[in-house]
Amino acid sequence: MKQSGEATNLAGKVIIVTGGGSGIGAAIAERLAAHGARVIRSDIRPESNTDGDSGSEFFEQDVGDPTSWESLERYVTGKFGKLDGLVNNAGIYRPDTIVETSIATFREIMRVNVEGTLLGCQSALRLMTAGGSIVNIASAAAMRPGPTDVSYGMSKAAIVNLTKAVASHCIAGKLNIRCNAICPGGVETPMSARTLVGPGARELAQRLRDASVTGALGKPSEIAAVAAFLLSSEAAFMTGVPVLVDGGFSL
C-alpha cells in the first residue's frame, strides 16, 4: 500500500532486509512494504517473526553463515524468481577501546557486520539478473570514529569500502546494479538502548542530542525513508555513495 503524497514507488519489487526483526531493519521493511514492495525480512531471532504486523515475510537467517545465505537464495528463487533489492542491515555492537578490545570481540563483530554484508552482496549479485539496488547500513562511526567503539567503527568503515568496490564492479560489468551505503548517527533503537547504559551513558546520549540538527536522536523511520529512496528508480544515478544520516554528528 503506497503512502499518500509520496512519490517513491517500489510496487512489485522483491527486496530482502536483513536484521529486519527490530529497530532500523523493521522500520525499513515496513516502509518498503508500504511502498508496494514484496519484502523478505531475515533475522537470526525467530521470535522476531511478526509477518502480520509488517506486511512482509520472515526468514530465519544467520548472516555470517554462507549456508544460511544459500538457503535464502533458494527460497527467493523458488518463490519469487528474482531479486530487485537488498538491504544489508543486520549488525551488532560491542563497546571496546583499542586497549581493552580482544581478538574474540573483533572477530565476533566482523563476522556479522562485515562478513554478513560481504555475503549479502555476493548473494545479491547472483540473484539480480535484471539489475537492482543494494543498500548497506554502515554508520557515522565509519567517518568519525570514537574511542569506545574501535571494532564497530572499523567494521562500518569496511562496509563503506565494500560498498564502493561493489559499485565499481557493477559499473565495469555493466550489471545495472547500484550499491550505496547509509551511515546513521545515533538512532533510537533497541540496540542503542542497550548501548546507552552504564557509566557515562547519559552524558554520551546528551552529546549526541547536542550534535543533532533536531536536538534529538534519530528515528528508525528517518533511516527507512532514505533506504526507500536509494532502492527506488529516483536514485538511478547514485552508486558507490555513503549517505550520512546523522543529524550533523560527523560535522
90: nearest Cα among 135, 33, 140, 36: 135
The per-residue b/e assignment along 169-202, b for 16 or more CB within 10 angstroms, e otherwise, is: ebeeeebebbbbbbbbbbbbbebbeebbeeeeee
Run means of pLDDT, 10 residues per run, the chain, 251 residues: 57 97 95 97 84 75 98 98 98 93 97 98 98 98 90 97 98 98 88 58 72 85 97 98 93 85
Identify the active-site residue in 93, 152, 229, 249. Answer: 152
CA 135 – CA 14 distance, rounded (Å): 14
| Catalytic site includes residue 93 | no
Query: Are 75 and 51 within 8 A, CB to CB?
Result: no
Cα 40 to Cα 61: distance, rounded to the nearest angstrom: 11
Task: Name the pTM for this structure.
Answer: 0.91
Give residue 3's pLDDT.
45
Location of C-alpha cell 546507552: 196
DSSP H helix total and E strand total for the chain: 9, 7
Residues in CB range of 135: below 8 A, 6 or more apart: 85, 86, 87, 88, 179, 180, 181, 182, 227, 230, 231
**What values do phi and psi take at 137, rounded to 5?**
-90, 110
Nearest one of 91, 221, 226 to 149, comparing CA atoms: 91
- Read off φ and ψ for residue 179, nearest 5 degrees: -140, 115
Residue 187 CB contacts under 8 Å (≥ 6 apart), including other chains: 23, 24, 217, 218, 219, 220, 222, 223
As a residue count, the chain comes to: 251
C-beta of residue 54 within 8 angstroms of C-beta of residue 35? no
Per-residue model confidence (pLDDT) at position 224 = 98
Give the model's pLDDT for residue 187: 87
